[in-house]
Structures are given as C-alpha cells and as structure tokens.
Structure 1
C-alpha cells in the first residue's frame, strides 16, 4: 500500500531538552510519519526519550546514532538498540563489511540503514580524506560503493542525498530503502545553507526517496504544524507529477 504524503516525512527531534521535543511531538503528531532521535537528545536523555515518543505519538521511531566502531562493539550496541523496539537505526557505511554484518545480525526487527556520505560533505571533503580522484570527481561513486557493501551485509537500505537516490534505485533496485536528509522545501531555500547536497521534497520523492528528513524549515516556522502540512503538499505534488 502506497504511503500518504505525510508518511514520507521524518522530523528530527534535534533538541537538548525533553520539553522541547515533547512540544514538537504534540504539534506534529499525525502530520509526520516518523520522529528521528539523534545523538544530542539520546545522549542527554537516554532510552527514556524513545518511550516518551512512543507514549505521545503513533508515528514510527528512527534512532539516528550512526554507530561506528569495531564489529564486536557495534554488535553489542545494536543488541541493546533492538531491545528498544525502534523502526530504524543508522550505522556508518564507511566501515568494514564485518561491522555492517555484525550490526544487522544483532538488530532484531529494527531495520539498519548505512550512512553513505554525510550531506555536509562535498568533493573537497572527499579529497581531504585521501580518496582517489575517481571518487573526488564523482562522489556519487563512493555513495554507490558503500551502498553496495551495505546491502551485501544485509542492511535494509541507506541514508543518502536526494541527488543520489535515483542512481541507487536504478543500480540496486527498489528494495533498497532510501532515507534522504538535507531536504529544503521550495519556500525555504536560502543561500549559504550548511547542507551541501540539498533537494526539495518533491524532487526527492520523484527520485525515489522512501523517506525525507526535514527539520529546520518545520522547527523554525511560526506554526510547525502548518509548515509540515506545506511540506506534505509539496510531496503530494511530486508524487502526482505536478511539481516542477
């Protein structure tokens, strides 16, 4: 069954306090498909924040921890994540096949996503990390390489820029779950954004993104609920083919 437009939206709870997170959950419940818990809130509040989201909303829960360590450590950490019963969890796709496999083996029913290349990384960042010119000149090749490795390890999918989604769907198939951060609605695009590889909600879903992560334009709006509805409208236009 095809998702509704609002179910594509993942809202990141990028707050330091439980109170701020609770306020936004109450405003956005029923208007987004999933809430994302990142490092800041999880480090400050721990597993209690997962239970808080579950009590306040029926939306899915995405634990964005970007685990990256030796395979044994990641495996043990992932077993603890599995006990929390969240829907999605992230690991870094830049590590070894063994680490990726260990994560998947211990994740239980939680779907594991590999982060391919952070959305504030660009060609200059890839060059500074010592990669060959092949990947510096075409960072999407590095994304594809890491996505291949993630799927071979059993990951459900990847976190990638909307600029790479269509390529990954073509190369890896529709079964590769793609979650796209760095989303900026058409009405919120501004110069000097700290995300280097951004796309609009409509273009992301047209390219095949299964979920889009959108925070600042909703969080900073005078009316976050209305902003979320505007994002859903852009997604609906993209799905119907009426968006540019």
Structure 2
C-alpha cells in the first residue's frame, strides 16, 4: 500500500455493482479499499479479488477468535488478494500473532474504536492493545479520528508503526486533525460513497489531508 493520498475508502456498500462503480470513480484519490462483512456477505468472498485488481484491499473482518480460526480466516482473505487484514487485539497475543504469521505481518490491530461506545471497553485498554500489536509484529493499529488526542497518545507507544484512522466524515472526525495527530492514513466511508459525486468527495478529502501534513 503506497503512501500517496493517505486516504483509505471504507466501502460498506452491499452490491458488487455499487462497489465497482464507486471504486472506479475514486481510484485516483485513495490508496486502498477497506471492505467489511456487508460487502463480503452480499457479493461473496471473491469480491476481494475483484477489488484487488484496482487497488490494495484491506479486509476489515475484525478477526477475533482462537489462533487456529484466526489463521484460517486470514489465509482465506490473503489467498483472494487482500493486502492486509484487521483484527481485534482483546483476544490476546497468541490470537493476534496467528493473524500476523498468516498475513506475513500485514495486520492492523484495533486499539480504540471510533464510535461513542468505543469509550466503554476498548478505550480503557487501548494502550495495552497498542503494546500488544507492537510485540506481536503487526504492521500497525487502528485508532479513532474522532478522538485525535488518542492518536497522539498511541503514536508514542507504537513508534514508527502505521496508524490507520476511521471516523472521518459521517462520524465527525476531521481528516487534517487526524493526520496532524499522527495518523498515516484516514479511513472514510459514507462521506465518499454516499456522495452524489464520490470522485469529487474523495478529491476534497485528499486535499484536506494535505492541509494536515
């Protein structure tokens, strides 16, 4: 995944046709496509391969199981062309390490979620989850653009690892604030794919990212 626009599209649509339409429109303004269960379940797992022909794909399955099951899930995603996967860290280091090994390091670990409920359970242990991600050899972490001060805090823990940051747009986070706080990439979904002009929306977000550099 190249670090050019520093924008990742969260493609939470539910048809293959919509997915291909949006990706084709925004491909010049995003560095990767993040796909989650809604699209995978609606279009089938081979949508990963379809998307990977256009852009790098991050499979956001929020993997959270025992090590062997985690390994099997990651292998299925990677074999279909995923460049990276997202897993939860609360399952423990052995489960995270299983993901890291299966993906050859290309794993982002959720530390603190971006929605209000994320403050209940993930936020209090986010620092420990960041430490776990680092010790397990993950590529990076997921940290909330809705709380940029937490990005700064977590950056101090993980050093040079990558931070991808959801919550920009519909959830209220600002792209430039997240980048200034230390995020490497922002993750944006509805503000792009629900726009009447997804290409223009993605372009404007890429411009906002540059303001934060």
**Length-normalised TM-score, structure 2:** 0.90
- Ranges in structure 2 where 5+ consecutive residues have no aligned partner: none
Aligned partner of 1:157 in structure 2 is 140
Aligned partner of 1:172 in structure 2 is 158
Aligned partner of 2:66 in structure 1 is 70
Distance in 2 (alpha carbons) for counterparts of 1:161 and 1:9: 14
**How many residue pairs were aligned?**
209
Aligned partner of 2:108 in structure 1 is 113
Aligned partner of 2:210 in structure 1 is 236
Distance 1:19 1:222, change over 3 A: same
**What SS does the aligned partner of 1:182 have?**
strand
Distance in 2 (alpha carbons) for counterparts of 1:145 and 1:25: 35
Distance in 1 (alpha carbons) for counterparts of 2:83 and 2:133: 18
Distance in 1 (alpha carbons) for counterparts of 2:135 and 2:78: 21
User: Post-superposition shift, 1:125?
Assistant: 2.7
- Ranges in structure 1 where 5+ consecutive residues have no aligned partner: 127-134, 185-192, 240-244
Distance in 1 (alpha carbons) for counterparts of 2:116 and 2:77: 27
Distance 1:54 1:79, change over 3 A: closer
User: Post-superposition shift, 1:43?
Assistant: 1.8
1:15 to 9, 13, 16: 13
**What SS does the aligned partner of 2:82 have?**
coil
Distance in 2 (alpha carbons) for counterparts of 1:123 and 1:78: 24
Aligned partner of 1:187 in structure 2 is none
Please tell me the root mean square deviation across aligned C-alpha atoms, in Å.
Answer: 2.0
Distance 1:29 1:17, change over 3 A: same
Q: After superposing the two structures, state which structure 1 stretch, 36-45 or 18-27, moved more.
A: 36-45
Aligned partner of 1:129 in structure 2 is none
**Length-normalised TM-score, structure 1:** 0.79
Q: After superposing the two structures, state which structure 1 stretch, 74-83 or 33-42, moved more.
A: 74-83
Distance in 1 (alpha carbons) for counterparts of 2:111 and 2:158: 14
Aligned partner of 1:215 in structure 2 is 189
**What SS does the aligned partner of 1:80 have?**
helix
Deviation by residue 1:191-221 (Cα, 9 ceiling, x = unmatched):
xx6x4xx421101111111111111111222
Aligned partner of 2:50 in structure 1 is 52
Aligned partner of 2:120 in structure 1 is 125
**What SS does the aligned partner of 2:91 have?**
coil
User: Post-superposition shift, 1:123?
Assistant: 7.1
2:175 is equivalent to residue 201 of structure 1: yes
Q: Contact 2:10–2:33 at 8 Å: present in 1 too?
A: yes
